Amino acid sequence: MTLPDTAANPAGADRTFQVDLRGLVDLLSHHLYSSPRVYLRELMQNAVDALTARYALEPAAPTGPFGIRLYADGSVVRVEDDGVGLTEADVHTFLATIGRSSKRAERIAEQRGDFIGQFGIGLLSCFLVADEIHVLSRSARTPDAPAVEWRGRGDGSYTVRTLPSSARPRPGTTVTLTPRADAGEWTRPAQVHALARHFGSLLRHPVTFDDGTGGPDGPGVPVNPEPAPWARTYPTPGARSRALAAYGEEVFGFTPLDTIELDLPAVGLKGIACVLPEAVPAGRRHGHRVHVKGMLLSEQAEEILPDWAFFVRCVVDAESLRPTASRESLYEDDTLAAVRDALAERLRAWIARAAASDPDLLHRFLQAHHLAVKSLAVHDDEILRMLLPWLPFETTDGHCTLDEFARTHRTVLVTSSVEEFRQVAAIASAAGLGVVNGGYTYDRELVHRLPEIRPEATVADLDPATLTAHLDPVDRETELAAAAYLAQARDALAVFDCDVALRTFHPASAPALLVDSREARHERTRSQLAREQEGGLWGDILGALRHEAPRAQLILNQLNPLVRTAVTIDEPELARTSAEALYGQAAMLSRRPLRPAESSLINRSFLDLLAHALRKDS
C-alpha cells in the first residue's frame, strides 16, 4: 500500500482519480459490451465519424476518394480512414483521456448529431483483443500538419511522437492492433471480413477489406458494394417490392407474408417491416435490426415497436435515434417514443390497406396473426371497427368470423371460459343457440363490443339458466316414474353440491350434461372452507362473504336410451353407482380439470358397474 504524500497533497487540496485501465477494460468487457467482436464496430464507427467531420470541414470535398480500408492477415488488424485526422494536441486531449470524445471539438461540437459515437470510450474496446493500440494520424485542418503517432498499452501507459508528414502522405487516421493469442476467434481475416459486413453493410462511405493474400478478388474487396435496398431505384413497383422481400428473407431467414416499407423523414428513418408468415406466441417480442447512420446498432432492439406488433420483424436505418453508451441499444427518450408511435401508425395503415383492397392478403394475415390483431383491437377503436367482423372465433357453428355468426344468430351468447364452452357447445348448437367461446385472451371483451359495429346484434353472457331454459321438460308421468331414481342420484352426488334433473335435449347420443361454471365452483369451495373454519378468524371472514352457494346441475337426457334404462333401476346401490358414472362421464366431457374426488368417483363407479355386470353374467 502506498501512503499519501502529505507534503505534495496538503489537506483540502484537490486530488485526481487514479484509473486502473486493466480493471476498466474488464468492466467494459463484462458489463458494457456484449462481446469482444464490438472492437471492429468501434473502430469503423470512429472512422465514419472522422469522415463526417472531414466533410463538415470541407463541404465541397468529393465523396468518391474518401473511404475506409480494413486489413487483416492474422498477425495484425488495421483500420484506415481518410477522415479529419488528429493533431498532437488532439491526441493528448482525446486518446489519453478516458471518457472524452473528439466529437466535442470546438468547430464540430454543434454538429454532434451527425456522429454515431458520443461517449469517447470506443477505442478502449480494442483492449478486449489486443494489448497495444497503435494510432498514426494526420490532421486535415492544417495543410502541412505533421503526422502524429500514439501508442497506448493495456497497463495504462502511452507514448506520443511527432513524425514528418511523409509518414502519412494524406490526412486521416490508421489504427493498428496486434491481437493477443487468445483473441484469434475475433481477429482472423475471415472473421474480420464477416464482422465488417455484419456491422457496416449499410454504411454510406465506401468500405473495403484486404486479407493480404492477393486472392482472385484482389485487394480491397468491397464490404458494402450497394446502398441499402430501400435507397436504390427499381424499374417497377413490383421489382422494388420483390427486392425488399428478398432482402428481408436474407436478413431474417423467412419469406415474408408481406413487406411494409417504413419512411419517417422527420428522424431520417428508412427501412422495412417483414410480416411473419406464421403465428407466434402471444406477447413474444422479436428483436429488430436497427442501424444508426448505416452502422448496425442492435439485432435485438425490441423497443423500436409497441408490444402488440409481434407479427413483424423490422430492419431500419435512422439518423436521429440516440444509442446508449455501449452503442448496442437505443436510449429511451421522447424521440424514440415518437418513432415507436409513428411506426405503429404505419403498421395500422398497412392493415387498413389490406382490409380495403386485398382481402386475400388480409385473410392470410388474420389466419396467422389474429391474436395480435385482437390485442390491438381491444385498445384501438379504428382497428376494432375495421377488423372485428373479419376476426375468427370459435363458435357453436365452428370457426367463423363474427360477421358470419351474427348474420345467423341475432343474439350472440359468449362463455367466460374455454371449459364452459366445451361443456355446452354440442347441446347449445342442437338447441339452436349461438354461443362464442370467450375463454381465449381478448375474445370475450371483443365479442361484447360487437354491437358497436353491428347495432342489430345483441350480445349476452351465457349462464346455466339461459341454457337450461332451452331444454325441454319431460311430461309429468315420466317425471313421477323417475322420481325415486332422481332422489337416489341427488343423494349420491350431494358431496359435489350437485342437483340432478331430467330433461330432453339433442343430440340424443349425449346421456347427460353437467352445468357448472368456474365461479360456482369457486363459491362452493369458499363455502366449504368457511364451514371447516367455523368459529375461527378465517371462518368469520369467509362467513361474512358467504351467500347461498350456486349448485352444479347434472341434467339427464330422457332421449338417451341409457338414461331411459337407468331411471328404471330399483336397486339402490346400482342406482347410486349409475348416477355416479353418469356424473363422471359428463365431467370428463366438460374437459375441465377433474378434482381428486371426481377422479376417485369415476374409477370406483367403473369398477362397481363391472363387478355388477360380472355377477349378473355368472
Q: Which residue has the cell 358467504?
A: 546
Collapsing DSSP to helix, strand or coil, 399 comes out as: strand
Residues 203 and 239 in one domain: no
Pairing between strand 130-138 and 147-153?
antiparallel
Out of 206, 222, 238, a domain closes at 222
Find all residues with CB under 8 Å of 6, minimum gap 6, and list them: none
C-beta separation of 555 from 468 below 8 A: yes
**What is the C-alpha to C-alpha distance for residues 103 and 120, in angstroms, rounded to an integer?**
8
Say if 14 falls within a structural domain. no
Residues 486 and 523 in one domain: yes
Find all residues with CB under 8 Å of 157, minimum gap 6, and list them: none
pLDDT at 283: 55
pLDDT at 216: 52
pLDDT at 277: 93
- CA 617, distance to chain mean position in Å, is 63
Out of 427, 462, 497, a domain closes at 462
The closest alpha carbon to 316, from 218, 244, 418, belongs to 244
Contacts 24+ apart (CB under 8 A), 275-281: 275/311, 275/312, 275/365, 275/369, 276/311, 276/312, 276/313, 276/368, 276/369, 277/368, 278/368, 279/368, 279/369, 279/371, 280/310, 280/311, 280/369
Q: Which residue has the cell 403498421?
A: 347
Instruction: Specify the number of domains making up the chain.
Output: 4
C-beta separation of 467 from 433 below 8 A: yes
Mean pLDDT, contiguous 10-residue spans, the chain (618 residues): 50 62 63 79 91 85 77 94 90 67 43 42 81 92 90 84 90 93 92 95 93 68 93 94 95 95 94 92 74 90 86 92 73 88 92 88 89 83 84 90 88 87 81 88 91 90 75 89 93 89 87 74 54 52 50 88 92 91 86 83 87 75
pLDDT at 90: 85
Residues 434 and 488 in one domain: no
CA angle 535, 539, 542 (to 5 degrees): 155
Say if 285 falls within a structural domain. yes
The grid coordinates listed for 101 are 470524445
pTM of this structure? 0.69
Residues 71 and 208 in one domain: yes
Q: Does the annotation place 42 within a ligand binding site?
A: yes
Q: What is the CATH number of the domain that holds 555?
A: 1.20.120.790
pLDDT at 535: 53
Residues 350 and 215 in one domain: no
Say if 4 falls within a structural domain. no
Q: What is the CATH number of the domain that holds 165?
A: 3.30.565.10
Collapsing DSSP to helix, strand or coil, 370 comes out as: helix
Say if 380 falls within a structural domain. no
Q: What is the pLDDT of residues 451-508, one digit of tens each?
A: 988 889 899 988 766 777 778 889 999 999 999 999 999 999 988 888 899 999 888 8
Residue 596: how many other CB atoms lie within 10 Å: 7
C-alpha dihedral over 421, 425, 427, 431, to 10 degrees? 110
Find all residues with CB under 8 Å of 389, minimum gap 6, and list them: 401, 402, 403, 406, 453, 454
Say if 3 falls within a structural domain. no
HSE of 486, CA atoms in CB hemisphere, 13 A: 18
Residues 561 and 511 in one domain: yes
Radius of gyration of the chain (CA): 37
pLDDT at 284: 63
Q: Cis before residue 507, ω within 30 degrees of 0? A: yes
> Is the dihedral angle over the CA atoms 71, 72, 78, 84 positive or is it negative?
positive
Say if 147 falls within a structural domain. yes
Residues 315 and 415 in one domain: no
**What is the C-alpha to C-alpha distance for residues 467 and 462, in angstroms, rounded to an integer?**
7
CA distances from 302 to 255, 311, 336, 339, 579 (A): 21, 13, 12, 13, 56
Residues 591 and 477 in one domain: yes
Residues 214 and 261 in one domain: no
C-beta separation of 88 from 162 below 8 A: yes
**Number of helical H runs and strand E runs in the chain:** 21, 22
Q: Any alpha helices (H) in 409-536, and if so which ranges?
A: 418-430, 443-448, 450-453, 464-468, 476-481, 483-492, 518-532
Note down the domain range covering 431.
391-462
The closest alpha carbon to 281, from 250, 249, 307, belongs to 307
Q: Does the annotation place 182 within a ligand binding site?
A: no
Find all residues with CB under 8 Å of 24, minimum gap 6, and list them: 98, 124
Out of 436, 462, 488, a domain closes at 462
pLDDT at 433: 86
Residues 144 and 238 in one domain: no
Collapsing DSSP to helix, strand or coil, 206 comes out as: coil
Say if 382 falls within a structural domain. no
C-beta separation of 600 from 495 below 8 A: no
Say if 586 falls within a structural domain. yes
Residue type, 583: Y
**What is the C-alpha to C-alpha distance for residues 139 and 193, in angstroms, rounded to an integer?**
28
Residues 61 and 155 in one domain: yes
Residues 458 and 476 in one domain: no
C-beta separation of 605 from 581 below 8 A: yes
**Exposed/middle/buried for 453, CB within 10 Å: 0-12, 13-18, 19+?**
middle
Q: What is the pLDDT of residues 205-233, one digit of tens each?
A: 999 999 988 655 556 799 999 999 999 99
